[in-house]
Protein backbone atom coordinates (compact mmCIF):
# COMPACT_ATOMS: atom_id res chain seq x y z
CA UNK A 1 0.00 0.00 0.00
CA UNK A 2 1.11 3.57 -0.62
CA UNK A 3 1.33 6.11 2.21
CA UNK A 4 -1.93 7.69 1.05
CA UNK A 5 -3.69 4.32 1.00
CA UNK A 6 -2.46 3.58 4.52
CA UNK A 7 -3.75 6.91 5.81
CA UNK A 8 -7.10 6.47 4.04
CA UNK A 9 -7.46 3.00 5.51
CA UNK A 10 -6.86 4.24 9.07
CA UNK A 11 -9.46 6.99 8.51
CA UNK A 12 -12.01 4.68 6.86
CA UNK A 13 -11.63 1.76 9.27
CA UNK A 14 -12.27 4.11 12.18
CA UNK A 15 -14.82 6.45 10.63
CA UNK A 16 -17.26 5.66 13.45
CA UNK A 17 -14.98 7.69 15.76
CA UNK A 18 -14.46 11.45 15.75
CA UNK A 19 -10.69 11.99 15.87
CA UNK A 20 -7.71 13.74 14.32
CA UNK A 21 -4.84 11.80 12.83
CA UNK A 22 -1.35 13.10 13.57
CA UNK A 23 0.96 11.53 10.98
CA UNK A 24 4.23 11.04 12.88
CA UNK A 25 6.93 11.82 10.34
CA UNK A 26 9.99 11.89 12.63
CA UNK A 27 13.18 10.68 10.91
CA UNK A 28 11.31 10.48 7.58
CA UNK A 29 12.36 12.56 4.56
CA UNK A 30 10.36 15.45 3.16
CA UNK A 31 9.48 13.42 0.04
CA UNK A 32 7.36 11.06 2.13
CA UNK A 33 5.71 13.94 4.00
CA UNK A 34 4.87 15.56 0.65
CA UNK A 35 3.33 12.32 -0.54
CA UNK A 36 1.01 12.24 2.49
CA UNK A 37 0.31 15.97 2.07
CA UNK A 38 -0.72 15.48 -1.54
CA UNK A 39 -3.22 12.87 -0.35
CA UNK A 40 -4.77 15.49 1.93
CA UNK A 41 -2.98 14.88 5.25
CA UNK A 42 -2.31 18.19 7.02
CA UNK A 43 -1.27 17.32 10.60
CA UNK A 44 2.26 16.01 11.11
CA UNK A 45 4.09 15.17 14.32
CA UNK A 46 7.80 15.42 15.04
CA UNK A 47 9.82 14.91 18.22
CA UNK A 48 13.09 16.76 17.53
CA UNK A 49 12.85 20.58 17.52
CA UNK A 50 15.68 21.12 15.02
CA UNK A 51 14.32 18.51 12.63
CA UNK A 52 10.88 20.07 12.91
CA UNK A 53 12.30 23.53 12.28
CA UNK A 54 14.12 22.33 9.15
CA UNK A 55 11.09 20.56 7.73
CA UNK A 56 8.76 23.47 8.43
CA UNK A 57 11.00 25.76 6.39
CA UNK A 58 10.83 23.50 3.33
CA UNK A 59 7.30 22.17 3.33
CA UNK A 60 3.90 23.78 2.58
CA UNK A 61 2.81 26.49 5.00
CA UNK A 62 -0.64 25.06 5.67
CA UNK A 63 0.80 22.03 7.45
CA UNK A 64 -0.07 21.89 11.16
CA UNK A 65 3.09 20.87 12.96
CA UNK A 66 2.71 19.09 16.29
CA UNK A 67 5.61 18.59 18.68
CA UNK A 68 4.95 15.18 20.16
CA UNK A 69 7.94 14.05 22.22
CA UNK A 70 9.84 15.25 25.24
CA UNK A 71 10.82 18.88 24.72
CA UNK A 72 13.84 20.46 26.40
CA UNK A 73 13.32 24.02 27.58
CA UNK A 74 16.32 25.34 25.65
CA UNK A 75 14.79 24.09 22.38
CA UNK A 76 11.39 25.77 22.68
CA UNK A 77 12.58 28.85 20.80
CA UNK A 78 13.17 26.82 17.63
CA UNK A 79 9.53 25.88 17.24
CA UNK A 80 7.62 28.67 19.03
CA UNK A 81 7.01 30.74 15.86
CA UNK A 82 5.03 28.08 14.02
CA UNK A 83 4.17 25.03 16.15
CA UNK A 84 0.42 24.31 16.28
CA UNK A 85 0.29 22.04 19.32
CA UNK A 86 2.85 20.83 21.86
CA UNK A 87 1.74 17.41 23.16
CA UNK A 88 4.44 16.67 25.72
CA UNK A 89 4.29 19.41 28.34
CA UNK A 90 5.53 17.61 31.44
CA UNK A 91 6.79 20.33 33.81
CA UNK A 92 5.92 23.82 34.98
CA UNK A 93 9.40 24.90 33.93
CA UNK A 94 8.68 23.88 30.34
CA UNK A 95 5.25 25.47 30.36
CA UNK A 96 6.74 28.75 31.59
CA UNK A 97 9.39 28.69 28.87
CA UNK A 98 6.75 28.07 26.18
CA UNK A 99 4.76 30.98 27.63
CA UNK A 100 7.85 33.21 27.58
CA UNK A 101 8.82 32.38 23.99
CA UNK A 102 5.21 32.76 22.84
CA UNK A 103 4.92 36.14 24.55
CA UNK A 104 8.05 37.39 22.78
CA UNK A 105 6.43 36.87 19.40
CA UNK A 106 2.87 37.68 20.37
CA UNK A 107 1.47 34.16 20.07
CA UNK A 108 -0.67 31.95 22.27
CA UNK A 109 0.63 28.39 21.96
CA UNK A 110 -1.70 25.45 22.48
CA UNK A 111 -0.37 22.67 24.68
CA UNK A 112 -1.36 19.33 26.16
CA UNK A 113 -0.27 18.13 29.57
CA UNK A 114 1.52 14.82 29.31
CA UNK A 115 0.24 12.56 32.05
CA UNK A 116 2.24 9.60 33.29
CA UNK A 117 -0.04 6.60 32.75
CA UNK A 118 2.31 3.74 31.77
CA UNK A 119 4.28 1.40 33.96
CA UNK A 120 7.72 2.41 32.67
CA UNK A 121 9.70 4.67 35.03
CA UNK A 122 11.37 6.35 32.08
CA UNK A 123 8.25 7.92 30.65
CA UNK A 124 7.83 11.61 31.23
CA UNK A 125 4.70 13.22 32.54
CA UNK A 126 2.77 14.74 35.41
CA UNK A 127 0.96 12.62 37.97
CA UNK A 128 -2.75 13.25 38.48
CA UNK A 129 -2.11 15.12 41.70
CA UNK A 130 0.65 17.27 40.25
CA UNK A 131 -1.75 18.26 37.48
CA UNK A 132 -4.55 19.14 39.91
CA UNK A 133 -2.18 21.26 41.99
CA UNK A 134 -0.69 23.00 38.97
CA UNK A 135 -3.96 24.05 37.38
CA UNK A 136 -5.26 25.39 40.69
CA UNK A 137 -2.16 27.58 41.17
CA UNK A 138 -1.94 31.33 40.65
CA UNK A 139 1.25 30.82 38.73
CA UNK A 140 -0.60 28.75 36.13
CA UNK A 141 -3.39 31.30 35.92
CA UNK A 142 -0.82 34.02 35.21
CA UNK A 143 0.46 32.34 32.02
CA UNK A 144 -1.27 34.30 29.29
CA UNK A 145 0.52 33.00 26.21
CA UNK A 146 -0.26 29.31 26.57
CA UNK A 147 -3.57 27.53 26.26
CA UNK A 148 -3.80 24.01 27.62
CA UNK A 149 -6.42 22.28 25.47
CA UNK A 150 -6.17 18.73 26.78
CA UNK A 151 -4.09 15.77 27.85
CA UNK A 152 -1.65 13.33 26.29
CA UNK A 153 -0.60 9.92 27.54
CA UNK A 154 1.46 6.96 26.42
CA UNK A 155 0.40 3.51 27.55
CA UNK A 156 2.87 0.87 28.65
CA UNK A 157 4.63 -0.75 25.71
CA UNK A 158 3.22 -4.27 26.17
CA UNK A 159 1.30 -7.04 24.42
CA UNK A 160 -1.17 -6.93 27.29
CA UNK A 161 -4.13 -5.15 25.66
CA UNK A 162 -6.13 -5.21 28.89
CA UNK A 163 -3.43 -3.22 30.69
CA UNK A 164 -3.23 -0.71 27.82
CA UNK A 165 -7.02 -0.35 27.81
CA UNK A 166 -7.08 0.19 31.56
CA UNK A 167 -4.41 2.91 31.33
CA UNK A 168 -6.35 4.73 28.60
CA UNK A 169 -9.56 4.39 30.60
CA UNK A 170 -7.98 6.00 33.66
CA UNK A 171 -6.65 8.88 31.56
CA UNK A 172 -10.07 9.42 29.98
CA UNK A 173 -11.63 9.49 33.45
CA UNK A 174 -9.14 12.16 34.53
CA UNK A 175 -9.86 14.15 31.34
CA UNK A 176 -13.57 14.09 32.25
CA UNK A 177 -12.75 15.12 35.84
CA UNK A 178 -10.91 18.22 34.59
CA UNK A 179 -13.52 19.21 31.99
CA UNK A 180 -15.65 21.35 34.32
CA UNK A 181 -12.57 23.32 35.43
CA UNK A 182 -12.45 25.50 32.36
CA UNK A 183 -10.47 28.74 32.76
CA UNK A 184 -8.98 31.35 30.45
CA UNK A 185 -5.98 29.14 29.63
CA UNK A 186 -7.40 25.67 30.25
CA UNK A 187 -10.09 23.66 28.45
CA UNK A 188 -10.24 19.91 28.07
CA UNK A 189 -10.93 19.44 24.37
CA UNK A 190 -8.29 17.06 23.04
CA UNK A 191 -7.25 13.70 24.44
CA UNK A 192 -4.10 12.58 22.62
CA UNK A 193 -3.65 8.85 23.09
CA UNK A 194 -2.85 5.97 20.79
CA UNK A 195 0.10 5.13 18.51
CA UNK A 196 0.56 2.50 15.77
CA UNK A 197 0.35 -0.41 18.21
CA UNK A 198 -2.59 0.75 20.30
CA UNK A 199 -4.64 3.42 18.51
CA UNK A 200 -7.65 1.15 18.04
CA UNK A 201 -7.91 0.59 21.78
CA UNK A 202 -7.30 4.31 22.37
CA UNK A 203 -10.16 5.30 20.05
CA UNK A 204 -12.49 2.86 21.80
CA UNK A 205 -11.52 4.51 25.09
CA UNK A 206 -12.21 8.05 23.93
CA UNK A 207 -9.09 9.36 22.21
CA UNK A 208 -9.63 12.46 20.05
CA UNK A 209 -6.14 12.49 18.54
CA UNK A 210 -4.00 9.53 17.55
CA UNK A 211 -0.28 9.81 16.78
CA UNK A 212 0.61 7.24 14.14
CA UNK A 213 4.07 6.86 12.65
CA UNK A 214 5.27 3.40 11.64
CA UNK A 215 1.85 2.18 10.43
CA UNK A 216 1.89 5.01 7.87
CA UNK A 217 5.55 5.62 6.99
CA UNK A 218 7.06 2.24 7.85
CA UNK A 219 9.54 1.38 10.60
CA UNK A 220 12.27 3.71 11.68
CA UNK A 221 15.04 1.10 11.61
C1 LIG B 1 7.25 8.11 17.71
C2 LIG B 1 6.06 8.52 18.49
C3 LIG B 1 4.76 8.14 18.10
C4 LIG B 1 4.48 7.24 16.91
O5 LIG B 1 4.91 5.94 17.15
P6 LIG B 1 4.55 4.74 16.14
O7 LIG B 1 4.64 3.54 17.00
O8 LIG B 1 5.57 4.78 15.07
O9 LIG B 1 3.19 4.97 15.63
C10 LIG B 1 3.70 8.59 18.86
N11 LIG B 1 3.87 9.38 19.94
C12 LIG B 1 5.10 9.76 20.34
C13 LIG B 1 5.22 10.64 21.54
C14 LIG B 1 6.23 9.34 19.65
O15 LIG B 1 7.45 9.73 20.05
Instruction: Quote the CA–CA distance of 203 and 95 in Å, as a whole number.
Output: 27
| Ligand 1 and 214: CB distance under 6 A | yes
pTM of the full predicted structure? 0.97
Residue nearest to atom 6 of ligand 1 (CA): 213
What percentage of the chain carries pLDDT values higher than 70? 99
Write down the mean pLDDT value for the chain: 96
What residues have CB less than 8 Å from 96, skipping those under 6 apart?
143
Please say if the pLDDT value at position 123 is more than 80: no
Residue nearest to atom 4 of ligand 1 (CA): 213
What residues have CB less than 8 Å from 129, skipping those under 6 apart?
none
- Residues 46, 23: contact at Cβ < 8 Å? no
What angle is formed at CA 144 by the lines to CA 140 and CA 145, rounded to 5 degrees? 110
| Ligand 1 and 157: CB distance under 6 A | no
Please say if the pLDDT value at position 138 is more than 80: yes
Which among 221, 219, 208 has a CA at the least distance from the CA of 43?
208
Amino acid sequence: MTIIQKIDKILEDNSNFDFKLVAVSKTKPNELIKEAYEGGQRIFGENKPQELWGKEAELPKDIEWHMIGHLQTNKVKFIAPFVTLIHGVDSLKLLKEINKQAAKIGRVIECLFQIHIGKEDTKFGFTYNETRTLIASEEFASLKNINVIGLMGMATNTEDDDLVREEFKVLKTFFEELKPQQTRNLAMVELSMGMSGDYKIALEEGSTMIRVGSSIFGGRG
